[in-house]
Amino acid sequence: MAPLEETAVKLALHWQILIGLGAGLAVGLAVNAWGEGVRAAVESNMGGAGVAVLDFVVNLNRVLGEIFKRSLQFIAVPIILFAVIVAITSLGDLRSLGRIGGKTLGIFFVTAFIGVAIGLTLVNVIKPGSERFINPEARERLLGSMDAGAADAFTGATKKAADDSKKLATAAKSVNPWDLVRDVMPTNPFDSMARGDMLQIVVLALLLGIALTLLPREVGAPVVGVCKGLAEAFTAIVRGIMVVAPIGVFCLITPIVATLGFSVLTALGAYCVTVIIGLAIIQFVMYPAVVRVFTRGRLPIRTFFRGIAQVQMVAFSSSSSAATLPVTIQNVRDRLGVPMDVAGFVCALGAKANMDGTAMMQAVATVFLAQFYGMELTLTQQATIVLTAVVAAIGSPGIPSGGMVMLVIVLQTYGVNPEGIAMILAVDRVLDMCRTVVNVTGDASTAVAVAAREGRLGAPGGVGGGGR
């Protein structure tokens, strides 16, 4: 008889993460529905000691979730820096860099424009901000939710949402598209790394990689060797972090669902459905089309989605494309057969420049709020929203609800009252989780497409991909 260790079937990591995600959703909903009653019962039966234990469990869950998220954020900056340097030096010459960079940015911009067009089409057909879905009574409640002093029963977070919307408007006043172009170049690379500014870090890595390529081999080779070793070391750390990912995902998702519940979604249900339909079309139609066209069917769509299952679940729970980046690079390389130089370069650039889900959301939110306020946006204005949303999405920080900062710019550009953000902030965290999944899927599909066009896409599951 075979030993138990040999006969037992180990559950794949992405299934373990899915179980953690499902358990977190279930516990969060239970806390949302019965949390106050449970707390009152514990206090009446067990006194202060029982409440203290309950608070300890809640705080432990919150801290463990934050530690997991911070561990991913901690690893993101060094793995981007070293992976991109290695990627540039591995390409061998600047023509290869220009060719791969051009293909990457080309796919990013085309998919972003298509994503925004999908969002605009849906929001004009569904009209979630019109009287079809929002009756006068609901409109008054939503308008009241924008008052920082109002008490809002259906979200339970009105004052915070209103305060946050004012902070976002203040932050966005100093930001314009020209500032975004200017800020591509860091003034202090160490400050960029400390702040986690992904685009500036990619620029730093690009410059270092190009410089090392131009140096004599005997001078540059030792530095490149160190960068390769560090890139592999940080990748090993990512694998270690992913071992505890099921617990981390559970701890991250539970407090979010416990705070929001489902009641918050009903007030803005049509808006949420419009955004989710748009994200689903991008996720399950546009990206599979990119993979199928560029790989010419060599990589089955089912294999592609299975290969990035871990990435999508971490993205959903963390709501941060930057925090998910180390996991994205590892899975694209190890499970989809993309060489490390292509995976590192494309995914690192995509964490900042590829925001299809965010761009689509900004277009939908702008037209939704215009409909809500009874404003008519012309076709010309809506056409220019496409460009504005794409540029603003690139400027969005890769952090939870980072797209909200840039949404203020889009709203102000077209004269839509930015205070309207207060009412959609209540549901944005849930939608942000969904669009982060779309954003990281876009990074993976582009990496696969570029590797296939370069003739370097290896067999799925092969560590490090392969080259021909």
The per-residue pLDDT for range 46-67, each reduced to its tens digit, is 777 777 887 888 888 888 888 8
pLDDT tier, 95 (very low <50, low <70, confident <90, very high otherwise): confident
Residue 25 reports pLDDT greater than 90: no
Determine the Cα–Cα distance for residues 418 and 147; give it in Å rounded to an integer: 13
Q: Which two tokens stand for residue 225?
A: 């060797």
Q: CA 131, 137, 138, 141: dihedral to nearest 10 degrees?
A: 140
Residue 80 reports pLDDT greater than 90: no
pLDDT tier, 279 (very low <50, low <70, confident <90, very high otherwise): very high
Determine the Cα–Cα distance for residues 14 and 308; give it in Å rounded to an integer: 9
pLDDT-wise least confident of 37-51, 119-133, 351-365: 37-51
pLDDT-wise least confident of 66-75, 151-160, 438-447, 453-462: 151-160
3-state secondary structure at position 299 = coil
Average pLDDT score over residue span 378-394: 74
pLDDT-wise least confident of 39-43, 150-154, 171-175, 252-256: 150-154
| Measured CA distances, 145 to 130, 375, 376, 410, 416 (Å) | 18, 20, 23, 22, 17
Residue 8 reports pLDDT greater than 60: no
Q: How buried is 8 (Cβ within 10 angstroms: 0-12 exposed, 13-18 middle, 19+ buried)?
A: exposed
pLDDT tier, 147 (very low <50, low <70, confident <90, very high otherwise): low
Average pLDDT score over residue span 165-186: 61
Q: How buried is 455 (Cβ within 10 angstroms: 0-12 exposed, 13-18 middle, 19+ buried)?
A: exposed
Q: How buried is 98 (Cβ within 10 angstroms: 0-12 exposed, 13-18 middle, 19+ buried)?
A: exposed
Query: For the packed helices 421-453 and 321-336, what is the interaxial angle rounded to 10 degrees?
Result: 30
The whole-number pLDDT of residue 465 equals 42
The whole-number pLDDT of residue 143 equals 66
Residue 387 reports pLDDT greater than 90: no
Determine the Cα–Cα distance for residues 386 and 268; give it in Å rounded to an integer: 23
Sequence-ordered list of residues with C-beta below 8 angstroms from that of 274, at least 6 positions apart, any chain: 119, 122, 123, 126, 128, 364, 368
Whether 397 contacts 144, CB under 8 Å: no
The whole-number pLDDT of residue 138 equals 64
Average pLDDT, the chain: 79
What's the DSSP call for residue 419? G
Residue 11 reports pLDDT greater than 80: no
pTM: predicted TM-score of the whole model, two decimal places: 0.74
Sequence-ordered list of residues with C-beta below 8 angstroms from that of 82, at least 6 positions apart, any chain: 205, 227, 228, 230, 231, 234
What's the DSSP call for residue 373? T
Residue 290 reports pLDDT greater than 90: yes
Residue 443 reports pLDDT greater than 60: yes
- Among 115, 402, 444, 430, smallest CA distance to 310 is for 444
Determine the Cα–Cα distance for residues 149 and 186; give it in Å rounded to an integer: 40
pLDDT tier, 397 (very low <50, low <70, confident <90, very high otherwise): low
